[in-house]
Amino acid sequence: MPAEEMGKVTKRLRLIFAVSSVVFLMVLAISPARDYLRDWRRYERDYVRLTESRPDTKRLLADFHPAIEQIWIPQMQVVDRCTTCHQGITKPSLLDVSVPQPFRAHPPIPHRVRDWGCVICHRGQGLATEVRDAHETTLAWEQPSLPVRYIQASCGACHRAELPHTPRLNHGRELLLTLNCVGCHRLQGVERPAMLGPDLTNVGTKVSRAWIYKWLKDPRTITASDGTLLVNGYENGDEPRMPKFRLSEKELRALSGYLSTLASDSIPPYKFESHTVAAWEKRPDLVDQGETRFRQMFCTTCHSLAVTRAGETKMIGGDIGPELTKVGSKVNADWLATWLRNPQAHLPHSKMPRYQWSDQDLYLVSQYIESKLTDPSLLSDAPKFDPAATDEVQLGRRLFTEKGCSSCHVIKGVAPQTDFGPDLASLGSKNASQLEFGNSKIKRTPVAYIEAKITDPAAVNVAARMPQYSLAPGDLDALTTALLSMTGKSASAPLEGLIQPDGHPQFRSAGAFGELYERYKCSVCHRFNGYGGTLAPDLTNEGSRAQKKWIAAFLKNPQTLRPTLTFRMPQFNMTDEEVSTLADYLSMVMQTPAVNPADTNSKHYTPEMANLGKQLYEVKFQCQSCHTIGSTGGYVGPNLTNAGNWINPAWTEEWLKNPQSLVPEAIEPHRDFTDEERAALTAYLMTLKQSASAPAGGAHGSGK
Amino acid sequence: MKPRLSKFANSSSGQRGSALLRAVVSPGFSPARANVAPTLRSARADLKVGATTALLIALVLIMAAGFATSCRQNRAAALPDPFARAYDTEADWNDAAHVIPLNYQQAQGKRVFYQYCVWCHADSTPAGPSNRSNLNPNPPLGNDGATLNSLSDDFMRNVITMGGAAAGKSAAMPPWGKTLSQDDIDAVIAFYRAIPQPAYQPPARPGPKYSVR
């Protein structure tokens, strides 16, 4: 090779060498520059700068290290580097909203943030050191951080028992139960009840085909334009449990036709005694008397009614039973009388007590319902039906299972369905790619999927079998929270202690008390050993609290002790024998060891002590601001006019020591009484006696 | 909150882009000239070098721009909706359409309030009528900003813990110190600060104003 060429090649080589060394140096430079510019490093520098402008710089920088910080919780398979950027997370002085994120302190919660890290609650990618990777969906990590609106879902992932701190989650879990989601779906921690909706075996004897048609078409009857839920034309905050199915006219006709023919196991109509009917039939005050009985029996403790007073229509009553404003136009008169006499003969799991009806009361109340609680135009927009044709009945029978009706309703002879819908036990930990978005325009995140699915199932999948629920915005948030809490993970060993099984075993009793307890459905409203309703007082310790005579008198004629309460105990018309059985059992069995009657010998209460107690009651402690005696006092606590005949003195003394030790949710403040004060107050209360003839309690509050 | 957050994000990423430019250009550029210049004589070669340097500068600029944009992408968008961050909500007592977002502590206060306080410090209660009109003097409503906003947190804490009589107020207000925990009492004060009309303004804070940079 000539030297000339050689030189050229050398030159070129030199040039290439020069260029490549420049590129090499540049590449070398990129790496440290990039490292210097990492998100977390910048945030750490910003944090140092922030602390310099604060008065407590030293304290804020006490445990600061310019490096990636990591919280590792192997038991929960969590690696959490969030505190690398969120440096101020445990610094109380940075709690103020004016502190810029990511440095603001976490509001105080029952968990120590430094021990638990962030992603256990907030989700997202704990390993990430880039802002976007940590909070959003990336190719490698499909669980973005949870909107704070649903954060209580993370509490529920570990704490299966109800927590007082998580109102939204608790509400959502309650909705999952009351809306019968377990009818079609499998849910974590929610057991399938024996039967969900009404038994339809004899529905043909209860309602007309036109009513079924109208109900299936829209169980809500009317939804106002502003989205307020209206049942039978009246506003009602409670969602009917039956959702709306998307049914064609043909399907509606077939299903209503099929259901209206069902009467295979019907109960023969009840025949009123002829002298009752003869005595009352023609009387002008028949319906008024019926209404009086209806009110006296406190049906509205469980059922709501639209009542118009002074031109204003309001819903009045409880939500344990169905709304009754127009029930007279819904159910057949024959069916109504047999239902009132014995609800459990129609529906074994019905919560309605079996009242002791006299023939006359039953006649009056059923006449009142059939003539006053009606609306002649209720079914006016339903088509006129001929008796159902055979092919309609055939189609209806098929639709009953195809549409999933048999997941919630029982018809004798039709096999019930289970797991009709998808298993949702691990919905909360699903990735977006595991959910079927189809062609919908929904944002591809699990949270958006759940929101869309329960708002409008057809928006996600036009062919969805899931019916349409109409939920208030608060209910939507609550349900989404409860569903997100179902991560399907079983507790790892160290955390098992947290996951307590929810609820208490059912309270059952054998013998005569057990029979009455079942008959009058005590546990629908009252709580026994942690099991039962919360509408009425917990009776677990009733024997320690109340005197037996008082219990018996109360059962005969329930008078409320709390005049502000809208809901009163119904009068069951119990026989004397039933009353003494219940009073005996309650006073003997339902006791707490914390109250020992032998501790208080009622004889040592002297009139002087009672006088001192009266002064303490009225002046020093001002008990009258919450309790009523006679006609003066407040409405918060129970009426004490008859306390001497009602409460056991031993209970009173123990109660005054610490009310919450006997009833944890008691409102009465725990105060510092001396022993003398306690005895004096008890002595005074024991002198408060009312003669049996005078009415007990205030006459307030028969309605809202 | 939103403008503050986004301003913070934008300004920092802009600055970051220029810092990057400085960092990458200076080490890459000067050694290149030092190595290449002595070996080249002809104008053609000069042209070549010029072209190469131009190419390099362009490359560096493109990379810098790439970095800057990728950095901008990395900024998390500010959260738009205050309710997305609300732990719970409470409707304004005077105007149900106005919903107030509550943080965790205020939400705990709401729970305590509706269990213990609502009976005398509200006009409607979960059980229906209220005990408030029954008391003399009438207790202030929970959202009575005109009365409660001027009371310091310490005073409220004392009245709740030790009762009205201990603070020179009505003895009808019982002491709650043994029923409620300190956290509960702080939470219920936070709730009283969240709901009043007119809205509560925290007292001016002592000490220097802080800022990020």
Of residues A516 and A4, more confidence is placed in A516
| CA–CA dist A97, A102 (Å, integer) | 11
Interface test with A, best of B20, B41, B131 (most A CBs within 10 A): B131
Mean pLDDT of all residues in A416-431: 84
Q: Residue A336: its pLDDT value, please?
A: 92
Of residues B68 and B182, more confidence is placed in B182
Tell me if chain A has a CB within 8 Å of the CB of B138: no
> B146 vs chain A: nearest CA distance in angstroms?
24
- Which residue among A15, A53, A167 sits closest to B211, beta carbon to beta carbon? A53
> A624 vs chain B: nearest CA distance in angstroms?
8
Strands of A174-276 (E only): list them: 222-223, 229-231, 234-235
pLDDT band with cut points at 50, 70 and 90 for residue A490 = low
At residue A624's C-alpha, the angle toward residues A619 and A629, to 5°, is 120
Mean pLDDT of all residues in A497-525: 78
Q: At what angle do helices A607-615 and A675-686 cross, to 10 degrees?
A: 100
Interface test with A, best of B134, B153, B181 (most A CBs within 10 A): B134
Contact call for B171 and A669, based on CB within 8 A: no
The helix (run of H) or strand (run of E) holding residue A348 is: none
Place of tokens 């019907």: A266
Task: Look at chain A and count its residues.
Answer: 704
Pick the closest to residue A110 from B183, B20, B130 (CA basis).
Answer: B183
| CA–CA dist A381, A130 (Å, integer) | 61
Residue pairs spanning A and B at CB distance below 8 A: 173
Which residue of chain A has the CA closest to B102? A149
Q: Residue A542: its pLDDT value, please?
A: 92
pLDDT tens, position by position, B90-121 = 888 888 888 888 888 899 999 999 999 999 99
Mean pLDDT of all residues in A599-621: 85
Tell me if chain B has a CB within 8 Å of the CB of A21: yes
Contact call for A37 and B16, based on CB within 8 A: yes
pLDDT band with cut points at 50, 70 and 90 for residue B63 = low
Of residues A239 and B89, more confidence is placed in B89
Tell me how crowded residue A601 is: count the other CB atoms within 10 A of its CB.
10
Tell me if chain A has a CB within 8 Å of the CB of B12: yes
Tell me if chain A has a CB within 8 Å of the CB of B6: no
By the 8 A CB rule, do A350 and A344 touch? yes
Q: Examine residue B137 and say whether the peptide bond preceding it is cis (omega within 30 degrees of 0).
A: yes
Residue B181: half-sphere exposure toward Cβ, Cα within 13 Å:
6
DSSP state of A410: -
- Which residue among A29, A42, A620 sits closest to B27, beta carbon to beta carbon? A29
| CA–CA dist B23, A199 (Å, integer) | 77
By the 8 A CB rule, do A550 and A540 touch? no
Interface test with A, best of B7, B30, B73, B87 (most A CBs within 10 A): B87
Mean pLDDT of all residues in A473-496: 79
The answer, yes or no, to whether residue A84 has pLDDT greater than 60, is yes
> B154 vs chain A: nearest CA distance in angstroms?
18
The answer, yes or no, to whether residue A386 has pLDDT greater than 90, is no
Mean pLDDT of all residues in A216-239: 58
Of residues A292 and A505, more confidence is placed in A292
The answer, yes or no, to whether residue A354 has pLDDT greater than 80, is yes
Of residues A253 and B85, more confidence is placed in A253
The helix (run of H) or strand (run of E) holding residue A305 is: strand A304-309
Domain ranges of chain A: 1-37, 39-145, 167-192+420-498, 203-372, 505-704
pLDDT band with cut points at 50, 70 and 90 for residue A158 = confident
| CA–CA dist A51, A64 (Å, integer) | 11
For residue B10, the chain A residues in CB contact (below 8 A) are none
Q: Residue A656: its pLDDT value, please?
A: 92
By the 8 A CB rule, do A47 and A88 touch? yes
CA distances (Å), origin A472, targets A218, A417, A427, A428, A469: 17, 29, 22, 22, 10
Q: Residue B125: its pLDDT value, please?
A: 81
Place of tokens 């691990």: A426
pLDDT band with cut points at 50, 70 and 90 for residue A572 = confident
For residue B174, the chain A residues in CB contact (below 8 A) are 621-622, 669, 671
Query: What are the structure tokens assigned to A422, written together?
Result: 């998808």
Mean pLDDT of all residues in A393-397: 91
Mean pLDDT of all residues in B160-179: 89
- Which residue among B5, B35, B172 sits closest to A625, beta carbon to beta carbon? B172
| CA–CA dist A654, A662 (Å, integer) | 8
By the 8 A CB rule, do A280 and A363 touch? yes
Contact call for A55 and B208, based on CB within 8 A: yes
Contact call for B24 and A26, based on CB within 8 A: yes
Q: Residue B68: its pLDDT value, please?
A: 56
Which residue of chain A has the CA closest to B184? A165
Of residues A22 and A349, more confidence is placed in A22
Tell me if chain B has a CB within 8 Å of the CB of A8: no
- Single-letter amino acid, residue A158: C
Place of tokens 């109409």: A470
| CA–CA dist A682, A679 (Å, integer) | 5
For residue A21, the chain B residues in CB contact (below 8 A) are 31-32, 35
Mean pLDDT of all residues in A427-450: 87
> B125 vs chain A: nearest CA distance in angstroms?
9
pLDDT tens, position by position, A1-13 = 677 888 889 999 9
pLDDT tens, position by position, A117-142 = 899 899 999 998 888 889 888 888 88
Tell me if chain A has a CB within 8 Å of the CB of B140: no
Tell me how crowded residue B131 is: count the other CB atoms within 10 A of its CB.
23
Tell me how crowded residue A363 is: count the other CB atoms within 10 A of its CB.
24
Contact call for B176 and A669, based on CB within 8 A: yes
Of residues A561 and A75, more confidence is placed in A75
CB within 8 Å of chain B, chain A residues 55-114: 55, 96-97, 99-101, 107-109
CA distances (Å), origin A277, targets A126, A389, A526, B22: 76, 38, 37, 102
| CA–CA dist A109, A122 (Å, integer) | 13
Contact call for A132 and B208, based on CB within 8 A: no
Tell me if chain B has a CB within 8 Å of the CB of A145: no
The helix (run of H) or strand (run of E) holding residue A628 is: strand A628-629
Mean pLDDT of all residues in A47-71: 89
For residue B211, the chain A residues in CB contact (below 8 A) are 53
Q: Examine residue B198 and say whether the peptide bond preceding it is cis (omega within 30 degrees of 0).
A: yes
Of residues A160 and B35, more confidence is placed in A160
Contact call for A667 and B116, based on CB within 8 A: yes
By the 8 A CB rule, do A595 and A654 touch? yes
User: Average pLDDT over chain A, rounded to whole?
Assistant: 84
Specify the domain boundaries for CATH 1.10.760.10 within chain B: 83-194
Pick the closest to residue A429 from A481, A484, A476 (CA basis).
Answer: A484
CATH 1.10.760.10 fits A505-704, yes or no: yes
Q: Residue B13: its pLDDT value, please?
A: 39
Contact call for B172 and A136, based on CB within 8 A: no
**Domain range A203-372, CATH architecture:** Orthogonal Bundle (1.10)
By the 8 A CB rule, do A477 and A168 touch? yes
Pick the closest to residue A425 from A486, A491, A476 (CA basis).
Answer: A486
Q: At what angle do helices B182-194 and B104-112 cross, to 10 degrees?
A: 100
Domains A167-192+420-498 and A203-372 share a fold: no
Find all residues with CB under 8 Å of A399, minimum gap 6, and list them. A251, A254, A255, A258, A405
Helix (H/G/I), strand (E/B), else coil: A200: coil
For residue B85, the chain A residues in CB contact (below 8 A) are 147-149
Pick the closest to residue A260 from A324, A329, A332 (CA basis).
Answer: A332
Proportion of chain B above pLDDT 70, given as a percent: 61
Contact call for B208 and A39, based on CB within 8 A: no
User: Average pLDDT over chain B, rounded to whole?
Assistant: 71
pLDDT tens, position by position, A648-694 = 989 999 999 999 988 888 889 998 899 889 999 999 999 998 765 44
Tell me how crowded residue A596 is: count the other CB atoms within 10 A of its CB.
12
3-state secondary structure chain B: CHHHHHHHHHHHHHHHHHHHHHHHHHHHHHHHHHHHHHHCCCHHHHHHHHHHHHHHHHHHHHHHHHHHHHHHHHCCCCCCCHHHHCCEEEECCCCCCCEEEECHHHHHHHHHHHHHHHHHHCCCECCECCCHHHCCCCCCCCCEHHHHCCCCHHHHHHHHHHCCHHHCCCCCCCCCCCCCCHHHHHHHHHHHHHCCECCCCCCCCCCCCCCCC
Q: At what angle do helices B43-74 and B2-36 cross, to 10 degrees?
A: 160
DSSP state of A428: G
Q: Residue B78: its pLDDT value, please?
A: 46
The least confident of A152-166, A281-295, A529-543, B58-72 is B58-72
Of residues A500 and A44, more confidence is placed in A44
The answer, yes or no, to whether residue B21 has pLDDT greater than 70, is no
* Partners of A235 in the β-ladder: A230
Tell me how crowded residue A150 is: count the other CB atoms within 10 A of its CB.
25
Can you list the alpha helix ranges (DSSP code H) found in A261-389?
274-281, 286-296, 333-341, 343-346, 359-372
Pick the closest to residue A263 from A408, A415, A411, A414 (CA basis).
Answer: A411
Q: Strand A78-80 relative to strand A71-73: parallel, antiparallel, unpaired?
A: antiparallel
CA distances (Å), origin A361, targets A274, A301, A438: 14, 18, 59
Tell me if chain B has a CB within 8 Å of the CB of A6: no
Proportion of chain A above pLDDT 90, given as a percent: 20
* ipTM for this prediction: 0.75
Tell me if chain B has a CB within 8 Å of the CB of A13: no
Helix (H/G/I), strand (E/B), else coil: A611: helix
Tell me if chain B has a CB within 8 Å of the CB of A615: no
Q: Which CATH class is domain A167-192+420-498?
A: mainly beta
CB within 8 Å of chain A, chain B residues 156-195: 170-172, 174-176, 178-179, 183
pLDDT band with cut points at 50, 70 and 90 for residue A228 = low
Contact call for A46 and B213, based on CB within 8 A: yes
Contact call for B111 and A97, based on CB within 8 A: no
Q: Residue A631: its pLDDT value, please?
A: 82
For residue A87, the chain B residues in CB contact (below 8 A) are none
| CA–CA dist A225, A200 (Å, integer) | 32
Q: Residue A311: its pLDDT value, please?
A: 67
**Domain range B83-194, CATH architecture:** Orthogonal Bundle (1.10)
Q: Residue A239: its pLDDT value, please?
A: 60
CA distances (Å), origin A638, targets A103, A293, A513, A659: 50, 26, 27, 14
Q: A16 exposed, middle or buried (CB, 10 Å; 0-12, 13-18, 19+)?
A: exposed
Contact call for B28 and A25, based on CB within 8 A: yes
| CA–CA dist A326, A322 (Å, integer) | 11
For residue A620, the chain B residues in CB contact (below 8 A) are 171
For residue A18, the chain B residues in CB contact (below 8 A) are 32, 35-36, 39
At residue B192's C-alpha, the angle toward residues B191 and B198, to 5°, is 120
Tell me if chain B has a CB within 8 Å of the CB of A699: no
Tell me how crowded residue A332 is: count the other CB atoms within 10 A of its CB.
16
At residue B166's C-alpha, the angle toward residues B163 and B168, to 5°, is 105
Which residue of chain A has the CA closest to B59? A23
Number of H helices, E strands in chain A: 30, 11
**DSSP for A479-532, written as a single string:** HHHHHHT---PPPPGGGGGG-PPPS-PPP---HHHHHHHHHTTHHHHSEETTEE
Q: Strand A312-317 relative to strand A71-73: parallel, antiparallel, unpaired?
A: unpaired
Contact call for A152 and B36, based on CB within 8 A: no
